[in-house]
Structures are given as structure tokens and as C-alpha cells.
Structure 1
Amino acid sequence: MIKRREGMASRGQAASAPPASTVCVTGATGYIGSWLVRSLLHRGYIVHATARDTGKASQILSRFGRSDRLKIFRADLREEGSFDEAVEGCAGVFHVAAFMELGTSVAENIEDHVRSKILEPAVRGTINLLRSCSRSSTVKRVIFTSSVSTITAKNDDGAWAPMVDESSFVSVDRVWKEKPNGWVYVLMKRLTEEKAFEFAKEKGMDLVSIISPTVAGPFLTPSVPISNQVILSPLTGDPELYPILVAVQSRLGSIALAHIEDICDAHIFLLETAAARGRYICAAGSCTIPQLSYFFSLQHPSFASDQIQMSEDIEGFTCSACSVICSRKITDLGFEFKYSVKDILKETLSSCAESRFLSDFKT
């Protein structure tokens, strides 16, 4: 595991009182969820971690050596009231879990299937959690993990905007009409966040959303996170994941990135900072697919050149079209990124090499 670097700049000071002692993390067995649990424990929090499979959660999270401050709860977004016990006694809740049953191949009418079998259950699951938070006598703030898939750098005419910020929403109608690669996931994240804010407003709940870009770096999960695999797809030539990377670039003009440690620290920062409101993009920087390929070719010249060169062929894309993906809202609040894009890519390569993931793709 890659160790935390020494001598980095400290985070911005939180504007609120010292953090409450107990928080809840949903989706604790995932990439962000597991690292967030570890980060919270290292900061002295008592953590209620939720997962559908408590055995798997215990296997991953028990390695952190904080068993006196970690309690694992079984909870399922599909079950009403499932989170009641887990959130009770917590001052903050991190909603990291996502409804991930995205298969659509069985449907004759794809749009009806997506609405009834994916989008409605996803929204319902998020509202189930928020109802538990609303019923709780202790929850003060919910941090909702959103996604860069909810924003775009293109306007309605298809022209590039000079800057992308929290107001740069993807058009739901346009996604339904065009169905770009990954369109179901885009709709799911866009609609669940929208409905979460509507519910929070109705109930007077303090909800803050963090818009995560592609998150990469070291990991605690048994398998390589999908986001790491997506980043490495120009190197591996993965036929399913590489088109996802192309779709992200076609929507944003580049690939926005954040280190796993930075994204988890940003979650905690937004919980602890009283002035936090609304949505926050959290990207340390971005790069294009050709830039990714060039970096990987320098680091791993043993990989096939045809795999590296595949990323150069992006119809209609030029680097001059790139929009700035702006994280100024969170940095103005006092948050500081520790890891640059180059750091993120180096640590992603290193951690995946340690897990022997890349050995399957060498020529």
C-alpha cells in the first residue's frame, strides 16, 4: 500500500466546532466507502459502517485496527427503514452507496425498463436512507456522493463552455434522447441527486453534495476498483471500459481526476465546515486521453504500442476545445488538494502493479 506523503500542505481550517464523535458511512465495502471509513477512524471518529454483506465489510474494514470505534450494520437501499439503526446516534451521514444494477439487455422496451427497474429503485433507495436520517434525533448533516457524470462542458448547441462549475448540469432530456455511452449511470446519478435535494428541502435537512470526478490511486478493496481500471484502459485496451473514458472526455473535454485520499478528506471537510452549502466539484485537475497515453507510454514502454496509440483517434476532439473543470467553490471554502494529476496517475499505476492487475496486459 502506498504510504501517505510527508511534508504536504495542511488542509484549510474547518469553520465549525470540533467534529461530532459518531458518523455513518453507507457503501462501506466500496472504493471510496472503505477508504473514507479508514480516514474517519484515523481522525478519531466513531464510525457506523453499512453494507449489504457484513461479512465482506468486516473482512475489509477490520484491518484498520480501530475495532473499538467501528461498528458494522447490515443495510440495503432497497429496504425501507433498513438504515434506521445505523444512523441513530450519528451527527453526520456520508451517503456513498449507489444502486448499481445497471443491466438493460433483457428489456424489449429499454426506456421503460430503465425507468422501472433502475432509476425508480435508485431514487427510492436514496430517499429510504434520507427518511432514516429524518427520523433520527441526532443527524445534523448528510454528505451525498455525487458524480462528474451529472455535469457537462457542452451547451444545448453542442458548443464547449470555457468553464464547468456546479451549475453545469447534464440535460436529462438530452441524455434520454441521445443515449450516449454510460447513459443509464448518468441518469441515475443525476436524478438521485436531484431528488435528494428536493427531499432535503422539504424536510429542512442539511444536505451537501460532493461531485466526484474519476477517483484513482491506492485502494483497500480486494479487487482493483473500476475507476482505476477505466483510467488504465488506454494502457490495457479494455474494450468495455475504454469507451467509458471516451464518453467522459466527449462530455467534459478532458478526464477530471481526484486522488482517493483527497476525495475522502473533502467529504470530511464538507461535513466539518459549517459554511458548506449545495454542490461542490472536487477535482484536482484533468488531462486528455492522449496525455494519459503519453504518460503511460513513458512509465510502461513494455506495453503494446497499438494499445497506447488507440487513444489518439478521437473523432472531432481537439485539445484546444478543453473546458476548465473548476473546483474553486471548495477551495475558496478552504480545502486544499494534496495530490496532483501526475501524483494520481503514478500511484494508480503503482497500486495496480502491486496487485498484479497489469501483468495480464503485458506483451
Structure 2
Amino acid sequence: MTEKQRVCVTGAGGYIGSWLIKYLLSRGYIVHGTVRDPGDEKNAHLKKLENAAENLILFKTDLFDLEGLCSAIAGCTGVFHVASFVPAFHDTVAEEEVTEPAITGTKNVMKACAAAKVKRVVVVSSIAAVVCNPKWHKDHPMDEECWSDPEFIRTLEGDFRYYLLAKTLAEREALEYNNKGNEFEVVTVCPSITIGPRLQSTINASSSLLLNLLKGSAESVEDATYHLVDVRDVAEALVLVYKNPEAKGRYICNSYTLKISALVEKMKSMYPRPNYPKRFTEAEEAPQKGDRMLSSEKLKRLGWNYKTLEETIVDSVICFEKTGDLPKPEAAAS
């Protein structure tokens, strides 16, 4: 694969999509980005990226608009499917309300890719499609052979189980296109909880994890185990598996696995603020809560490296202070 290619990124204005586009533009790619509304202020940051004026074209479409997706993907050699359907959960949400749109969106992207005769498709999945497997060997880190069990997910409590199920079914749907005689190859990347500085104006759920700890949103938190990765390292991983013809199948993208109490101690040593959680309750660890180790060795063998946790924390705090999400220490004390 050579530079100066034309590629499409679905979900261009989101957390991961924005960093991915920034990296693609910096490396000479012409990028087609799909957004719901190119004129919306929440997408303004994309137009300010270096080389965006010359090499970024935004298309108004969504995952349910097959015709719009076909227009956005036309002329592209590759596609990064980053957009993800996340419904508004409510008390009576049904499984199909979450899973069907996710699967339909994936199918539409694949149909548009086939019509455009693209060569390679990189799909952003999630460790949600990996970790919900109670039958996995306890003494073996979860790797790309480990799939979340849909029937097990259905036994969990809370509507969030349908998100876990949707990510699992959607990734399987995407990879099945490798066996359907299409001209393009599908590779999936499964990031863990993605943190780090953001480019978009609105804060996203995963990056707010550090912010809530810094602000002391709760005095007591469950001392669960978390898998974490820097958003910039996710973007690098996506470009890496796209450019490398040896990349096949799925890739887990995780940098650190640690308890919340350990994360707080690390942050305390770097930023001694008074608002951190005071108590940590024992977590009832279960496969869906991430008590197992995750292996990113397959991705590392392609040459993937990741930032230190300290660098991610520092850059996140700088971003929070710059955007006003977190008062600077002197401001907070005055």
C-alpha cells in the first residue's frame, strides 16, 4: 500500500475518528469523512486539522443511508469503519433495538465497500466482543481467538448487555465478508477503554473516566479492573493494520490492565489534588468486567507500540484544563 491514497472514515467527528483522520492527513492521504451534518459546530475541529483544507471532504450520511455511504466511499481504496450505533437506553429497551441497527449499519458499510471495489476495510470493534467469555482458560490471557459468548451476555443484567452483544455480532458480521468472495479484505481492531486527549469539543464517555476521578465525582468507587489504551495509539493501530498487507483477522488493542485504586494512586503521585475517591469497595469481578488479562501480542508483532500511562495522563489533564472541563489548581484554589 502506498501513500496518497483516498480512504473513507465513517464516524469522522468522533473521538477515535478525529485522531485517525488527523494521522491520515498528516501522512498524505485524501480522506472522505462521514458525519451526520458537515456544518454542525461539533465537526468544526476536523476542518482545522493540518492539510484538511486540501485533503478532507466531509459527506453527510449515516449508517442507515446506503446511498449516502456509497457516495462517500466511491473512489476510495480503503475504508475505516469507526462509526458505531449507540442507542438511548431506557427501561424497556429490547435486544433487537440495539443489535439490529448495529448489524444493519455494518452490512450497509460492507455493501458500499463492495460497490466501490475497495481493497481493504478496517473495522473498529471493541474488547466487548472479546471479554464476555466465562469458558476461556483462566490461566491464559484473552487473545484474538477469544470471542464473547452471546448467550452468556444475554444472562447479564442491565441494558448495557445489549451493547456488548451488538459489538460482538457486528464484528462477526464484518469478518464474515472475508468468506463471501469479495475483492476486499476485512480486518478488525478491538480497543479497550480508550482514554487520552480529545480533538472534538464534546467529551466522550470513555475519556471522562480520568476526568471523573480527578474531579472526585464519587467518594467511593468499585475497585474494578480496567483495560486502558491511549486514543492516539488506537489511531496508530488502525493505520498500521491498514497499511500492512500481512495484517489478517482481528487485533486486540490494549496497553494497560490495572485496578482503579492503582490508577488513582498513579494520578495522585502526579497531581496531588484533594478530590480523588476516598474509598474503594471490593469489586465482584466477572468476565464482563475485565478481570482477565488481555494480550495485544499479535498487534505488537506488526510493530505497534504504545505510550506510557504517565504520558496519557499528562496529556489528558492538559486537555481537560484547556477545554475548561477541569479547573487549573490555582483557579480551583482562588
Find 2:185's aligned residue among 206, 229, 235: 206
Letter in 1 for 2:321: A
Matches within 5 A, 1:161-240: 161-179=139-157, 182-204=160-182, 205-238=184-217
What residue is the counterpart of 1:151 in the other structure? 130
CA contact (8 A) 1:154 1:161 kept: no
- Report the CA distance between 1:156 and its aligned residue: 3.0
CA contact (8 A) 1:153 1:161 kept: no
Write out per-residue CA displacement over residues 327-361 of structure 1, whole angstroms, 9 at most, x where no aligned residue.
11011122232x02222222222211222212399
CA contact (8 A) 1:200 1:206 kept: yes
- Report the CA distance between 1:47 and its aligned residue: 0.5
Structure 2 counterpart SS, 1:100: coil
Return the TM-score normalized by structure 1: 0.81
Letter in 2 for 1:185: Y
What residue is the counterpart of 1:347 in the other structure? 315
- Report the CA distance between 1:58 and its aligned residue: 5.1
User: Is 1:262 matched up with 2:229?
Assistant: no
Q: How many positions carry a matched residue from both structures? A: 323
Letter in 2 for 1:272: K
What residue is the counterpart of 1:49 in the other structure? 33
Give the RMSD, CA atoms, in angstroms: 2.6
Distance 2:296 2:227 in 1: 10
What residue is the counterpart of 1:38 in the other structure? 22
Distance 1:201 1:238 in 2: 47
Write out per-residue CA displacement over residues 228-287 of structure 1, whole angstroms, 9 at most, x where no aligned residue.
102443344547xx77xx6xx4xxxx3222222211111111110000000001122222
Q: Which blocks of at least 5 consecutive residues in structure 2 are unaligned? A: none
Write out per-residue CA displacement over residues 311-333 of structure 1, whole angstroms, 9 at most, x where no aligned residue.
x2123459xx9643211101112
Structure 1 counterpart SS, 2:180: helix
- Report the CA distance between 1:90 and its aligned residue: 0.6
Q: Which blocks of at least 5 consecutive residues in structure 1 are unaligned? A: 1-16
Letter in 2 for 1:325: L
Alpha-carbon spacing, 1:281–1:151, altered in 2? closer, same or farther (3 Å): same
What residue is the counterpart of 2:8 in the other structure? 24
Deviates more, 1:272-281 or 1:350-359: 350-359
CA contact (8 A) 2:3 2:28 kept: no
Letter in 2 for 1:324: M
Structure 2 counterpart SS, 1:193: helix
Return the TM-score normalized by structure 2: 0.88
User: Is 1:120 matched up with 2:120?
Assistant: no
Distance 1:132 1:126 in 2: 10
What residue is the counterpart of 2:121 in the other structure? 142
Alpha-carbon spacing, 1:125–1:323, altered in 2? closer, same or farther (3 Å): closer
Write out per-residue CA displacement over residues 196-255 of structure 1, whole angstroms, 9 at most, x where no aligned residue.
11234224330000111111111110122221102443344547xx77xx6xx4xxxx32
Write out per-residue CA displacement over residues 131-166 of structure 1, whole angstroms, 9 at most, x where no aligned residue.
0001113x1000000111112276338x84431211
CA contact (8 A) 1:144 1:208 kept: yes
- Report the CA distance between 1:34 and its aligned residue: 1.0
What residue is the counterpart of 1:10 in the other structure? none
